Amino acid sequence: MNRSFCHLCSQRTLVMAMPARSLLVLAMTATFLFVESRGTGAERRLGVLPGQSVRNALTAPKTKASGSEVVLYAFTGAQDGGSPWSDVVLDPTNAIYGTTQSGGMSSGCCGKVFKLTPSASGYSETTAYAFQSGMDGSSPAFEALQLKGGSIYGTTPVGGGGCGSDGCGTVFRLDVARSKYHETVLYRFKGGDDGQRPFGGVVVGNNGVIFGATVQGGGTCDCGTVYELKPSKGAYTEVQLHRFVGTDGSSPIGTLLLAGGSIFGTTDSGGTGQGGTVFELSPKGKSYAFAVLWSFGGPNDGDAPLGGVVRSPNGVLYGTTEDGGASGQGTVFSLQPSGNTYTEKTLHVFSGAEDGNGPYAGLSVRGNMLYGTTQYGGGSGCGGPGCGIVFKITTTGTRYSVLHVFQGGSDGATPEAGVIAGKNSILYGTTVAGGACGGAGCGTVFAVTP
């Protein structure tokens, strides 16, 4: 995987070069339009949910989908940010936190952490932290933030120094003091054996230890790493838990899962089938034992599990693959444990038509239902491949339905991130494009009521 970042004053382009089999060579350009600032946050109330006032809501056109979508916020690409590629998280007050890959500063650089605060009239957007494109990190993409003990943890794939002018990436924490967030860089990657490009987020254990992955570095293979950051007297020390060599997987992009004392994750490629892997790191004394639970790439199997996995209480793992399946448009899969082995089952094969195409993100699980998105499909919009969908499927795979079909206009387009379930099972997510800033749009935060 290669990623190059272009920093311009009025435009910002992120070019993603994925493996050849993985469709996505995505070039996104956001032209930033500045808006009038009110107070300190350039607030714009755009979306409301059931029980709130319907004033100023942006609702999607009616489709065959069974859910109801509301745009909670449409980014302008300026100080409020643009191109939100990551999942959002909710705090106990139902405030929404997430990141944008661009915008944040007056020059349009370099991404930010945003907060959407709910009220009776909708959601107000404010900046928790705007990255400066230097030692503090830059261009957060794909990662999910984690809220822990009142702090916000996350990563940036570039910035922080090293790796030429881009920087190798950082792990950061935001803390509140006097009603303002302040950033602390917990670790700056050095590249090489140390790892670089932490695209996925981090998970924080109860003892304060931080776990994450880098998509590059780790040795001569340059296939990525799994690391932990141990706190000690206010500082953090990095320990490499695993360095990928290709046959065990390559390029872990998605955020890790910490469950039952073990660490679960996926790699975009590599493995015995060269279609990516699902792996586990289980505690073994003072270290961790690595095991590949499944290697993709077989006949009609999925290919490229980018978004990580979720786990049900009975130990079954669920995820998506961006490619593969009988149609080549991606799958939803489960891994059923049996002793020390896992059996894979394909729960759904995307056709590339109304049911979606190319799920980039992972899933959310609630009870016996899985929720997710596909970046394309759902119709013929957005130049032909469709603008993406939100879907749900039972954990057995017996029922699949589309909750929302994005139209590419004010309702958003191309959801690279997944969805999370909040109160009343309302689903929250982001789209990279669409919204209200002209052209392809600068992205949205949305809610779908199943």
Please list the pLDDT of the chain residue by residue as tens digits (450 residues): 333 332 222 222 333 333 333 333 222 222 222 222 222 333 334 454 544 433 334 444 444 677 789 999 999 998 999 999 999 999 999 999 999 999 998 666 899 999 999 999 999 999 999 998 789 999 998 778 999 989 999 999 999 998 988 899 999 999 988 789 999 999 999 999 999 999 999 999 988 999 999 999 998 999 999 999 999 888 999 999 999 999 999 999 999 999 999 999 999 999 999 999 999 999 998 899 999 999 999 878 999 999 999 999 999 999 999 999 999 999 999 999 998 899 999 999 999 999 999 999 999 999 999 999 999 999 888 988 999 999 999 999 999 999 999 999 999 999 999 999 998 889 999 999 999 887 788 999 999 998
Identify the pLDDT of residue 13: 33
- 281 burial (CB, 10 Å; 0-12 / 13-18 / 19+) is buried
The pLDDT value given to residue 11: 29
For CA atoms 45, 47, 52, 55, give the dihedral sign: positive
CB 128 within 8 A of CB 103: no
Nearest Cα neighbor of 2 from 157, 162, 143, 110 is 157
How far apart, in whole angstroms, are the C-alpha atoms of residue 389 and residue 434? 13
Cα Dmax for the chain:
60
The amino acid at 108? G
CA atoms in the 13 A half-sphere facing the CB of 162: 20
* 99 contacts: CB under 8 Å, gap ≥ 6: 81, 84, 85, 86, 111, 112, 113, 114, 140, 141, 143, 145, 154
pTM: 0.87
Q: Which of 125, 19, 183, 198 is nearest to 445 (CA)?
A: 125
- Cα–chain center distance at 332: 17
Query: For residue 405, which of 46, 69, 71 has the smallest C-alpha distance?
Result: 69
**Rounded distance, CA 94 to CA 282, Å?**
34
**Which residues lie below 8 Å from residue 383, measured CB to CB, with a gap of 6+?**
none
Quick one: DSSP state of residue 144?
P
Detail the DSSP E strand segments found in 22-145. 25-31, 58-59, 68-74, 89-90, 96-104, 110-119, 122-130
Local structure of 374: helix, strand or coil? strand
Question: Length of the chain, please?
Answer: 450
The residue type at 62: K
Q: What is the predicted pLDDT for the residue at 12?
A: 29
Residue 43 has a pLDDT of 34
Structure confidence at residue 200 (pLDDT): 93
CB of 408 closer than 8 Å to CB of 439:
no
Tell how far CA 1 is from the center of its chain.
17
Tell me the two tokens of residue 435. Answer: 């919204």
Dihedral pair phi/psi, residue 132, rounded to 5°: -105, 5
Token pair of 142 as six digits? 């794909």
Answer left, alpha or beta for residue 232, where phi above 0 means left and psi between -120 and 50 means alpha.
Answer: beta
How far the first Cα of the chain sits from its last, in Å, is: 36
Virtual torsion, Cα 90, 136, 181, 35, nearest 10 deg:
-80
